[in-house]
Amino acid sequence: MAAGAAGLTVLASPAQASTTTPEDALDQAALTTTLTGPELKSIQDRRYRPAWKVALDFALDKQGVPYLWGGTGRGGYDCSGLMLRAYEKAGIDLPRTAAEQYAAFGRKIAWNDLRPGDLVFFSGLGHVGMISRPGYMVHAPHSGDVVKEEKLSSWRRDAFVGAVRPDAKGVREWAERRAAPAPAMPVASVL
């Protein structure tokens, strides 16, 4: 592999390049691929971007999309639908509703420990947003509004229920707990 001025050039190994007869000779161009511009950026982004960053970029890119109750794309998003699709883009499958998203993770994050990518929950788990930068969140607020970034006000602080930092392991554990059969209940009989 060699780095070129215009991008990244990938060369085949000598074993791949050797042939036994002239008829089998491979053109050197067939052994070299040069990646430039968007192709190279795409590979670099996938390799070095944490899930929270992918999810946050997705959510921020949806600014201006209308709020749609029950929406998870196309026509619009509701608050939990936006978080669902953002983390799905990052390879983490979240549950559908805000309350389920909160319950999916055992580790809760305090207000003073919030970081970009954290999901923040408000109003008795009736609303969720994602921290975009210190003191701000991106969310789908309510009917008649659009996905937007908003400063975390004192009103939001008062309505804060808790926060989680999504990871694939936490969601798997939640799904396993949910799929487990309910414990047997004792049965009483009256004689």
Could you tell me whether strands 148-151 and 8-11 are parallel, antiparallel, or unpaired per DSSP bridges? unpaired
Catalytic residue among 79, 86, 104, 130: 79
Task: Give the bridge partners for 2, in sequence order.
Answer: 9
Packing angle, helices 79-89 and 51-61, rounded to 10: 130
Task: Give me the catalytic one of 62, 127, 132, 171.
Answer: 127
**Which tokens is 144 given?**
């008649």
Is 127 catalytic? The answer is yes
Catalytic entry in 71, 121, 128, 139: 139
3 state SS for 170-189: HHHHHHHHHHCCCCCCCCCC
- Long-range contacts, 83-86 (Cβ 8 Å, 24+): 83/55, 83/59, 83/119, 83/128, 83/129, 83/130, 85/58, 86/55, 86/56, 86/58, 86/59, 86/62, 86/130
Give the number of other Cβ atoms within 10 Å of residue 111's Cβ.
12
Q: Is 79 noted as a catalytic residue in this protein?
A: yes
Q: Which residues are catalytic?
A: 79, 127, 139
